[in-house]
């Protein structure tokens, strides 16, 4: 039977050129999309960790400051508290506390344990009033919570209070202690709005960095699509290799961005928070030296404050070193590995380091990749291996740099760890980092012996050949 004269015609078959372009474009788009997604995910994760670290660091610093201030204030009125319980003595104690302040927004306050204001240097109109039923914008009973914390032995309370310098409500962290014999609550607080401003600035900076990198990826994708469309018939194995090189470069850029963010945060901690702690420590030490020169006894609270400042300084320096060790950029990879071994030797298995060859000419990318592999491997050993001894060997020759981490722990199933998406994240990160740097990672594991080997060819600033 003849077909009707206006029957629909089938679509023309896809040409060879269209097929080649589709086969080239689709994987490229998929790869760029995955890189963009991975970049965004890793950037958000790194930003979340950095944000949490900065917030915890600031809060720890504020808590230490507040406790020191309250200890100092109580030490000022302690002779009066021990002397007697008459009204004149109490009034003198209130007067002394009212003269203690630090900056426009730092002051002491005193309440009785029934919620009446006994002293408030910034809001004298409140003196004599009962604030027992006062609530903040979140419905929290501010004075009740402070008094409850003081009755429980003292501690920290977060609440809202009017900030004297701006005249509006702001989040505040207070520290209070009770004077049981006088039925007083003595405390002070620091406002937290500047911490939120710092975190908001970090959010904006990170968002800008991620957006800029995504724009770069979009630009690269646009240029790649234009090149593929113009020369679809010329695609061959060499084009495929060029695409792989570009993807590797993008992966390197992601790693480099992470390292730059780590280095930036490490510098901020070292040059900012660390210097502030050093200054505070020097001030306390000067006060101690002055008391000693005058032959006066040093208050134990001042000694404790100096000790806590030292501990906080060491913790900030440790965090800064973990983020980006300065030795890696100044003295090179062997010195950074020695420091890493020293830190790992404090607890857990003993770690021995051996370096053969001259590692001074290693490129910055090679040093960073090998150091992160060693750091991750030692962390895995300490957490999971149950090993007694670890050997760390760095071998450098003219053709390749090889890092080997061997332990005598329990061992694990390498194939199962790599196949399970919920396990072996550290191993995958090490492998991806080495592949991004142009190297490879090999794993061998059995009960009593596990070896991680990382190799990098062409790892020098200038090829010795």
Q: Is the pLDDT of residue 25 over 80?
A: no
pLDDT (average), residues 84-93 = 88
* Predicted local confidence at residue 276, as pLDDT: 74
pLDDT band, very low/low/confident/very high, at 258 (cuts 50, 70, 90):
low
Helix (H) or strand (E) holding 75: helix 16-83
pLDDT band, very low/low/confident/very high, at 187 (cuts 50, 70, 90):
very high
Enumerate domains of the chain plus CATH numbers.
17-55+196-322 (no CATH), 84-191 (3.30.450.20), 327-457 (3.30.565.10)
pLDDT (average), residues 326-351 = 75
Whole-number Cα distances in Å, 461 to 251, 336, 374, 438, 439: 20, 18, 21, 14, 15
Distance in angstroms (rounded) separating the CA atoms of residues 320 and 314: 10
The pLDDT tens digits for 379-435 are 888 887 778 888 888 888 877 888 898 888 888 877 777 666 666 667 777 787 778
Number of C-beta neighbours around residue 449 at 10 A: 13
* Predicted local confidence at residue 316, as pLDDT: 65
The pLDDT tens digits for 266-279 are 565 556 676 776 77
| Mean of the per-residue pLDDT values of the chain | 78
* Residue 377: exposure state from Cβ atoms within 10 A (0-12, 13-18, ≥19): buried
Alpha-helix residue ranges (DSSP H) falling in 114-192: 142-151
The pLDDT tens digits for 131-184 are 999 998 889 999 999 999 999 999 999 999 998 888 888 999 999 999 999 999
The pLDDT tens digits for 211-224 are 787 788 778 777 76
* Predicted local confidence at residue 148, as pLDDT: 94
pLDDT band, very low/low/confident/very high, at 262 (cuts 50, 70, 90):
low
pLDDT (average), residues 337-343 = 79
Distance of CA 187 to the CA centre of its chain: 31
* Predicted local confidence at residue 159, as pLDDT: 92
**What percentage of the chain exceeds 70 in pLDDT?**
75
- Residue 284 contacts residue 306 (beta carbons within 8 Å): yes
Buried b / exposed e along 196-221 (16+ C-beta atoms within 10 A): eeebeebeeebeeebeebeeebeebb
Whole-number Cα distances in Å, 181 to 46, 190, 463: 50, 27, 78
For residue 119, what are its two tokens? 């002293």
Buried b / exposed e along 403-424 (16+ C-beta atoms within 10 A): bbbbbbbebbebeebeeeeeeb
pLDDT band, very low/low/confident/very high, at 239 (cuts 50, 70, 90):
low
* Predicted local confidence at residue 179, as pLDDT: 93
Kindly give the interhelix angle for 16-83 and 193-230, rounded to the nearest 10 degrees. Answer: 170
- Which of 74, 269, 282 lies closest to 178 in space, CA to CA? 74
* Predicted local confidence at residue 464, as pLDDT: 42
């Amino acid at each position: 039977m003849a077909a009707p004269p206006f029957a629909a015609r089938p679509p023309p078959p896809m040409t060879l050129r269209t097929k080649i372009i589709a086969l080239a474009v689709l994987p490229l788009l998929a790869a760029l999309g995955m890189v963009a997604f991975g970049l965004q995910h890793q950037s958000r994760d790194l930003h979340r960790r950095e944000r949490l670290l900065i917030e915890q660091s600031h809060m720890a610093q504020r808590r230490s400051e507040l406790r020191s201030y309250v200890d100092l204030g109580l030490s000022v009125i302690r002779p009066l508290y021990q002397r007697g319980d008459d009204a004149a003595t109490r009034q003198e104690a209130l007067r002394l506390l009212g003269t203690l302040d630090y900056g426009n927004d730092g002051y002491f306050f005193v309440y009785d344990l029934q919620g009446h204001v006994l002293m408030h240097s910034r809001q004298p109109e409140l003196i004599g009033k009962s604030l027992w039923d006062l609530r903040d914008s979140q419905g929290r009973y501010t004075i009740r919570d402070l008094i409850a914390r003081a009755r429980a032995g003292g501690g920290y309370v977060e609440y809202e209070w009017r900030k004297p310098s701006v005249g509006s409500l702001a989040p505040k962290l207070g520290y209070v202690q009770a004077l049981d014999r006088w039925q007083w609550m003595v405390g002070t607080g620091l406002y937290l709005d500047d911490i939120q401003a710092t975190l908001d600035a970090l959010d904006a900076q990170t968002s800008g960095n991620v957006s800029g990198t995504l724009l770069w990826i979009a630009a690269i994708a646009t240029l790649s699509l234009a090149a593929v469309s113009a020369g679809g018939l010329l695609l061959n194995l060499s084009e495929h290799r060029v695409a792989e090189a570009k993807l590797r470069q993008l992966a390197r850029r992601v790693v480099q961005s992470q390292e730059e963010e780590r280095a930036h945060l490490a510098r901020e901690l070292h040059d900012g928070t660390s210097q502030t702690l050093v200054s505070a420590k020097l001030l306390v030490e000067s006060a101690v030296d002055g008391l000693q020169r005058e032959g006066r006894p040093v208050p134990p609270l001042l000694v404790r404050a100096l000790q806590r400042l030292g501990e906080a300084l060491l913790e900030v320096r440790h965090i800064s070193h973990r983020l980006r060790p300065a030795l890696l950029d100044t003295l090179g990879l062997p010195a950074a590995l020695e420091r890493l071994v020293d830190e790992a030797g404090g607890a857990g298995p003993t770690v021995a380091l051996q370096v053969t060859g001259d590692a001074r000419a290693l490129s910055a990318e090679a040093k960073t990749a090998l150091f992160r592999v060693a750091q991750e491997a030692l962390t895995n050993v300490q957490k999971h291996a149950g090993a007694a001894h670890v050997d760390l060997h760095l071998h450098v020759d003219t053709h390749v740099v090889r890092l080997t981490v061997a332990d005598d722990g329990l061992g694990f199933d390498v194939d199962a760890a790599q196949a399970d998406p919920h396990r072996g994240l550290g191993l995958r990160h090490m492998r991806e980092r080495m592949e991004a740097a142009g190297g490879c990672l090999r794993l061998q594991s059995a009960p009593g012996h596990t070896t991680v080997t990382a190799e990098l060819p062409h790892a020098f600033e200038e090829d010795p050949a």
